[in-house]
């Protein structure tokens, strides 16, 4: 192969990979989204319905409680994620013993290896005071049964803890990698000038992690608005003490598969998408995610 043909071969391979990704994105992302838009603005007979489907779901007595549930969960989870992941990544990065740093990253990452449903099933045992290894702590808090633990008022915090347990480790590893990209000369210069670990973290590391924190916020927001597996499994395990329309995704599921109203389900999904895109835009703009250094 001549030197001229090598770049062409590499370009052909690159285009092949991009083409496969593009085809899958169109087939399983773009086309379903366009179909959802079509359903949201039509009636069951395919006629144009305007905003009737949106009005119907917003007026549904289950809609606003579901919005409140998801919002409460997102506030707790995103605050905990942004603060604790950043702090833990900086702490792990500050550990000078290589074996200890590697061990900590592995320990943090391991829970993320569990699939969502498997993780929730594990937490079903942890939340049951009669079977949980932390049952003594739960009883100390006045919670003597599983149904007392999973009352609706506790659910935003419970779901936030589950989501943090499964997702934080991967973000800690990503933040650790971002911290490794900060020039050692900058850190050394700050140390020579008398800056301590706290000052270095606050004045150097955090500002340089801003884009990564914004990226974490966008991705976690997109995942958090899709809350479904956790309340769905808890609803089945608690004999409907946790309602089966707790989250917006569950409400859309109820519309589609219990009421056979796919138009209403599509309207819920589009409203959820609109909120997620709007909040993601805030993270992008506030974090200067696409600004070049």
Quote the tokens at residue 204: 């150097």
pLDDT in tens, 39-90: 999 998 889 999 999 999 999 999 999 999 999 999 999 999 989 999 999 9
| Residue 14 covered by a domain | no
pLDDT in tens, 274-292: 888 888 888 777 766 666 6
| Residue 54 covered by a domain | no
The DSSP line for 219-254 is HHHHHHTT--HHHHHHHHHTTTSS-TTSSHHHHHHH
Q: 120 and 234 in contact (C-beta within 8 Å)?
A: yes
pLDDT in tens, 90-137: 998 888 888 888 888 888 887 777 666 677 778 888 888 888 888 888
| Residue 175 covered by a domain | yes
pLDDT in tens, 189-246: 888 878 888 888 888 888 888 888 888 888 888 888 889 988 988 888 888 788 889 9
| Residue 144 covered by a domain | yes
Beta bridge partners of 48: 42
Per the listing, tokens 């479904």 go with: 228
The residue range of the domain holding 235 is 61-286
> Which of 122, 101, 102 shows the shortest CA–CA distance to 112?
122
Q: In this predicted structure, what is the pLDDT of residue 185?
A: 85
| Residue 166 covered by a domain | yes
Q: In this predicted structure, what is the pLDDT of residue 105?
A: 84
| Residue 32 covered by a domain | no
| Residue 103 covered by a domain | yes
| Residue 44 covered by a domain | no
Task: Report CA Rg, the chain.
Answer: 23
Q: Bigger pLDDT: 264 or 141? A: 264
Cα gap 228→272, rounded to integer Å: 13
9: pLDDT strictly greater than 80: no
Instruction: Provide the domain count of the chain.
Output: 1
Cα gap 123→127, rounded to integer Å: 6
For residue 219, what is the domain's CATH number?
Answer: 1.10.3720.10
């Amino acid at each position: 192969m001549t030197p001229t043909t090598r770049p062409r071969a590499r370009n052909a391979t690159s285009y092949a990979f991009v083409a496969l990704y593009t085809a899958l994105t169109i087939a399983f992302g773009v086309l379903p989204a366009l179909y959802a838009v079509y359903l949201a603005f039509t009636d069951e007979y395919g006629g144009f319905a305007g905003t009737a489907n949106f009005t119907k779901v917003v007026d549904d007595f289950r809609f606003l409680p579901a919005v409140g549930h998801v919002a409460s969960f997102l506030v707790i989870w995103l605050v905990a994620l942004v603060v604790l992941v950043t702090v833990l990544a900086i702490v792990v990065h500050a550990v000078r013993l290589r074996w200890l740093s590697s061990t900590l990253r592995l320990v943090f990452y391991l829970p993320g290896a569990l699939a969502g449903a498997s993780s929730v099933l594990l937490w079903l045992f942890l939340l049951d005071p009669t079977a949980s290894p932390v049952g003594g702590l739960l009883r100390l808090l006045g919670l003597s049964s599983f149904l007392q633990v999973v009352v609706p008022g506790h659910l935003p915090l419970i779901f936030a803890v589950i989501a943090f347990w499964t997702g934080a480790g991967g973000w800690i590893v990503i933040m650790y990698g971002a911290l490794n990209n900060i020039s050692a000369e900058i850190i050394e210069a700050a140390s020579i000038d008398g800056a301590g670990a706290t000052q270095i973290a606050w004045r150097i590391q955090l500002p340089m992690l801003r884009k990564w924190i914004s990226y974490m916020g966008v991705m976690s927001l997109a995942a958090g608005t899709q809350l479904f597996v956790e309340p769905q499994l808890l609803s089945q395990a608690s004999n409907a003490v946790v309602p089966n329309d707790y989250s917006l995704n569950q409400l859309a599921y109820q519309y589609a598969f219990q009421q056979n109203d796919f138009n209403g389900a599509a309207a819920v999904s589009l409203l959820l998408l609109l909120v997620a895109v709007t909040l993601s835009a805030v993270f992008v703009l506030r974090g200067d995610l696409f600004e070049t250094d």
